[in-house]
Structure 1
Amino acid sequence: MELLCILHERGIRVPEDLSVMGFDGIEAGIWAVPPLTTIAQDLEAKAETAIASLFEDPASHLIDVELTVRRSTGYAKTIL
């Protein structure tokens, strides 16, 4: 969310010039300007998988995430 403030101060428009996405799933992202798109991760499952990966193939474990799309992401501009 701090990045959104810094970009705004520098005149970089989100999402028109740059898309921003969080990876912590915090609810406070809804109050950011613009509201922050985020991915929520199950940190407990992630830790358990990390430990299990010491003894097993890490590719055998998948961890679900939840994507919450808000207005801080948009379509990429065409680069000429």
Structure 2
Amino acid sequence: MKDPRAQAEAQVKSMLVKIVRNCKQVRPQQIRLMIKVDYATGKVEARETGLDTRGGKCLCDALKHVRLKPLGTGTTEFPLVSVV
């Protein structure tokens, strides 16, 4: 069985694919995010860690509404790069 962090990363990445379509800017850009997931509630928080933040705010706001499947107890944080 996968560890909870790997499952959380996979779930967030699949959600970002859907979210990015609604956060497109005029030209593609790479957004660096730090993702925090609460395993018990499935709550996702994101904050921008890069300098170019035009598309990052849209992604962070959208991820606030994402709920993952419960994965156990505790929390995890991991970096993620997305292209919008």
Indicate whether the TM-score tops 0.5. Answer: no
Q: Which TM-score band (shorter chain)?
A: under 0.3
Which protein shows a greater Rg?
A: 1
What TM-score, normalized by structure 1, do the two folds share? 0.26
Higher RCO, Cα 8 Å, sep 6+:
2
